[in-house]
Amino acid sequence: MAEIIGTISAANNLIETAFQIIKRLRQAYERQKESAALLDSLSEEILSIGKIVSIVEDEDALQTANVSAVLIKLRMTEDNLVNWLKKADPGKKGLMRQSLYQLVHGSKEYKILGEIKDELTRVKSDLSITIQVAHVGVTWTAKLEIVANNKIIRRVNKRLVKLFGKDGGLKIADLLEHRSPRDDGLFQLSEADLASLNSGDDLSSAGSEIEVSNAEMPPDTNNRIIIGNSTKAQALMINGPIGEDMWRDISYLRIENNTAEGNSTMVNHATSFEVLKFLTERQDANKERERQWQSSTNKRALNELAVG
């Protein structure tokens, strides 16, 4: 838990730093319409991401291994953005006389900023989807029953719907919408219910690269069950704690019917931040190679059509 709190804090600090630099740039280039529009777009994206991170910070139920994995990726992307913004910071005399528009348009710097903006948008989408499909309030009882806490689900879902709209709430809330909780306020779930949450249909259509696992259980539960998960394409799934190995003293571990296809990666054990960083960077490298291959293929096809 301490690790994800540190990740959230770092992400928030980078958001604040980026926003302050953008604010200074906005004031310096206020009369340049193109520059102002570019900075306003960046500012809106940063503020939007900040609202999502704040919900994760407030809600312990959302601080899962998979959300943590996306936050680490977000922190890396924000760091790239802040480094780029520092180059254009009006506090640096060398760039003060230059138009931000002239600085970035038609140049290598513009391409770099475009790539950072695109990655920021992708990570924001990943974070939103990973939160929405999280197994909020789900625990395993001592009798290996799967139950969901109605109070926690309703509270978290209300915040997400307010931020994302009615279609942006928790997937588990939709699953339980027409069911009645037990007298103790808990919903009884089946393994089929968990499998439906992990089906990946919504994730695939939204282009998500990091999927939720069903291994997220509170530290007082001495059992871990990881079943029916699947990854495809360039997906990365973490089915265990990140940082501290909270599985050292478990008494029951069940891992079955999990599949990883294509260039996807699935980890069914505790993972260090160093390993996660390596997996994330490898994932980004694989995506870049795939994009370059696709671009090269498209160019060849266009050339062939032109010759024909």
Between CA 242 and CA 252 the distance in angstroms is 19
For residue 210, the model assigns a pLDDT of: 35
- For residues 74 and 49, the answer to whether their CB atoms sit within 8 Å is yes
- Using N-to-C axis directions, what is the helix angle for 2-28 and 33-58, rounded to 10°? 160
For 49-145, list the strands marked E by DSSP: 138-140
User: Which residue's entry shows tokens 């390993």?
Assistant: 275
> Is residue 254 classed as helix, strand or coil in its secondary structure?
strand
Cβ-based neighbours of 226, under 8 Å, separated by 6 or more: 213, 214, 215, 239, 240, 254, 255, 256, 258, 268
- The answer to whether residue 127 scores a pLDDT higher than 60 is yes
- For residues 146 and 191, the answer to whether their CB atoms sit within 8 Å is yes
Structural tokens at position 72: 């680490």
Beta bridge partners of 297: none
More confident position, 252 or 84: 84
- pLDDT tens per residue across span 52-63: 999 999 998 898
The mean-pLDDT minimum among 65-69, 100-104, 156-160, 254-258 falls in 100-104
- For residues 41 and 22, the answer to whether their CB atoms sit within 8 Å is no
Side chain identity at residue 135, one-letter code: H
Side chain identity at residue 197, one-letter code: L
- The answer to whether residue 251 scores a pLDDT higher than 80 is no
What percent of the chain has a predicted confidence (pLDDT) above 90? 13
Give the pLDDT band of residue 244 (cuts 50, 70, 90): low
Angle at 226 between CA 221 and CA 230, to 5 degrees: 150
For residue 308, the model assigns a pLDDT of: 55
Name the strand (E) or helix (H) holding 231. Answer: strand 230-231
- The answer to whether residue 207 scores a pLDDT higher than 60 is no
Task: Give the range with max mean pLDDT: 104-113, 135-144, 235-244.
Answer: 135-144
> Is residue 270 classed as helix, strand or coil in its secondary structure?
coil
Cβ-based neighbours of 120, under 8 Å, separated by 6 or more: 45, 49, 77, 78, 81
